[in-house]
Amino acid sequence: MSEERVSPQGALAHLAIPAGGEGQPVLVLHSWWGLTAAFTGFARQLASRGFVVGCADLYGGRTARTEAEARALRARPRREPMYRTLQRCLRELADHPGATRPATATVGFSMGGHWAVWLAQHPPPEISGTVLYYAV
């Protein structure tokens, strides 16, 4: 398995690639705490099982340690709406040379679960499956 931090010009913040270099693409959507080590660790676990996994970062590298910080991060003005960032993530992941299918699965945690459902209801890009963890 290989991992890489993705260029800041792209929408994806982190990629975990299986040892074989290719697999079904999966996009991991973090909770309101931000893209923490727990989510990149989850991506590594999926990659070790043969998936090409991308992680979105909706907060530009920032993470929260308290509920107040998480609320502030979620409410912070951004240059691009979250849904557009996520649609770009899906396109980048589907276009990755190791992606074996054009449709991408999503795994969303809490706030990310909300966005996973939203993405499934508003194609394109095409979603092959949606998994939610602990809330919508």
Domains of the chain: 2-133 (3.40.50.1820)
Which DSSP helix (H) or strand (E) runs through 115? helix 111-121
So what's the pLDDT on residue 135? 57
Cα distance between residue 9 and residue 50, in whole Å: 26
pTM, whole model, 2 decimals?
0.91
So what's the pLDDT on residue 79? 84
CA distance readout (Å), 35 to 23, 43, 54, 125:
23, 11, 11, 22
pLDDT tens-digit series, residues 15-51: 999 999 999 999 999 999 999 999 999 999 999 999 9
pLDDT tens-digit series, residues 61-120: 999 999 999 999 999 988 889 999 999 999 999 999 999 988 999 999 999 999 999 999
For residue 120, the one-letter residue type is: A
- Residue tagged 């991408």 (tokens): 104
